[in-house]
Amino acid sequence: MSITPEIHYDASQDELKGFANNDPKNFADHVLVFMIKGIKANYKQPVAYYFTNGLKKDELKHIIYDVIKNIQATGLHVLCTVCDQATVNGKCKKEFPSPFALARSYKNVKNSKISKRKKICERDKTLEGIQNVWKILYQKYSFDTLLTRNLNQDPIEIFFGNIRSYGVRNVAPNTITFEGAYKSLLLNNYNAPHSIRSNCEEDKNKCLQTIDFFLTEKPSSDIPEDKNDNFTFNLETLHSKTKEDKGQSNYVCGWVVAKCFKKITKLCKICRSNLNEKCEVEGNALIRAKEFNKNKKWLCYPNKNVIEVFQEIQRITCSFLKKDVPKYIRVPYIKQI
């Protein structure tokens, strides 16, 4: 599932979030979700998700083996895997035994004009995979019937649809909003109305285990104690005097100054006079445009000196973040600096 590449700071864990698990130096633009589905019972359960960027065949193979190993350890038996026709999936499934990997080709009809011939990808391999699955079910587990609709990926597609529709509209979630919707759907047992125009049938599968089952104890924050406090600065970015987004910079600077007035300099009139600007300053037009009442100033208008200090802090921060961004920020150390 594609997501919006963004970076966010998690204050509770003192960590920057938004990076790919397979490549920590790049932002995540996709999320890889694994879900188990009962071959006979009506249940489904998302078991793992990975934020990725340019996932390779060998990386995907290692992840799949790791997920299957942990699922088997719970007592569940993995019979086959189902995926779509993504390029990396097509390359990876060739590494698995024939009865184990089952492509979702019998549903993967390419969308095209009526004048063009429809195409079903790898139909023979799909039918062969279903036959192998049936042999195992019949000989080992004494099944007398097999509902083939349980071998498609409709449950996970519906799950993705629930995530995108969570909170009215979440069509392009980032890593933070995806995790929030993921946990919320586990809490309410995927309770979401079925759309009449959806591409899949109504999913009546129930959650195997809700998130309440896993929240028996609060996980501890395992933040590594890295004693290496040497930061690498990008001098080219640091000394850059670019004036782009000057209005936005002034607006954020005004917000920071307003917070200082509220929490630090509540009653100091001298501080308010030195930090605020009474006359118009270049770049404060955006702040003025955001005023609710144009006849009265409610927002904070920083003066020229404060804006220059703020922009210098911004350049230092950007020079630090553009190279070797640390996953754990260590807020106490930053405050000390």
What confidence tens digit (pLDDT) does each residue in 254-294 have? Answer: 888 888 888 777 778 788 777 777 666 667 777 777 777 76
Q: Which residues contact 196 (CB under 8 A, 6 or more apart)?
A: none
Q: Which residues contact 19 (CB under 8 A, 6 or more apart)?
A: 7, 25, 26, 27, 28, 51, 325, 327
Output the CA torsion 163→166→171→172 (10° steps): -70
Are 184 and 239 part of one and the same domain? no
Are 116 and 208 part of one and the same domain? yes
Tally of structural domains, the chain: 2
For residue 1, the SS3 value is: coil
| Structural domain of 310 | 235-336
Separation of alpha carbons 276 and 280, rounded Å: 11
- 115-123: long-range contacts (C-beta < 8 A, 24 or more apart)? 121/85, 122/85
pLDDT at 290: 75
Residue 328, φ and ψ in degrees, nearest 5: -105, 125
Say if 293 falls within a structural domain: yes
pLDDT at 113: 45
For residue 119, the SS3 value is: coil
Ordered alpha helix ranges (H), 74-192: 87-93, 123-141, 154-164, 175-187
pLDDT at 178: 92
Are 143 and 173 part of one and the same domain? yes
Say if 189 falls within a structural domain: yes
Instruction: Give the residue from 78, 82, 77, 105 showing the smallest Cα distance to 93.
Output: 82
Are 196 and 254 part of one and the same domain? no
Contact between residue 45 and residue 207 where contact means Cβ atoms under 8 Å apart: yes
What percentage of the chain exceeds 90 in pLDDT? 12
Average pLDDT, the chain: 76
Which one of 185, 214, 243 terminates a domain? 214
Say if 243 falls within a structural domain: yes
pLDDT at 48: 93
Are 210 and 318 part of one and the same domain? no
Could you tell me whether strands 43-52 and 81-83 are parallel, antiparallel, or unpaired per DSSP bridges? Answer: unpaired
Separation of alpha carbons 95 and 63, rounded Å: 13
Separation of alpha carbons 166 and 205, rounded Å: 19
Residue 90 CA from chain centroid, whole number: 24
Say if 279 falls within a structural domain: yes
Are 266 and 192 part of one and the same domain? no
Which one of 214, 245, 268 terminates a domain? 214
Which one of 147, 180, 214 terminates a domain? 214
pLDDT at 51: 95
Say if 221 falls within a structural domain: no
Are 64 and 176 part of one and the same domain? yes
Angle at alpha carbon of residue 219, lines to 216 and 225, rounded to 5°: 165
pLDDT tens-digit readout, 298-330: 788 888 888 888 888 878 777 766 666 665 655
pLDDT in tens, the chain (337 residues): 999 998 888 887 888 889 999 888 889 999 999 999 988 888 888 999 999 998 998 999 999 999 999 999 989 988 888 888 788 888 887 777 655 555 444 444 444 444 555 555 667 777 888 888 888 899 988 899 888 888 888 888 888 888 888 876 678 899 999 998 888 888 776 655 555 556 666 777 777 776 666 565 555 555 555 555 555 555 554 455 555 555 778 888 888 888 888 877 777 878 877 777 766 666 777 777 777 776 777 788 888 888 888 888 878 777 766 666 665 655 665 554 4
For residue 336, the SS3 value is: helix
Are 175 and 292 part of one and the same domain? no
Ordered alpha helix ranges (H), the chain: 57-73, 87-93, 123-141, 154-164, 175-187, 211-214, 235-238, 246-263, 269-275, 285-289, 304-321, 331-336
For the whole prediction, is pTM greater than 0.75? no
Say if 185 falls within a structural domain: yes
Separation of alpha carbons 2 and 8, rounded Å: 17
Are 96 and 37 part of one and the same domain? yes
Are 251 and 132 part of one and the same domain? no
Are 196 and 250 part of one and the same domain? no
Are 129 and 28 part of one and the same domain? yes
Say if 241 falls within a structural domain: yes
pLDDT at 89: 83
DSSP string, 156-181: HHHHHHHHHTTTS--SS--HHHHHHH
Say if 249 falls within a structural domain: yes
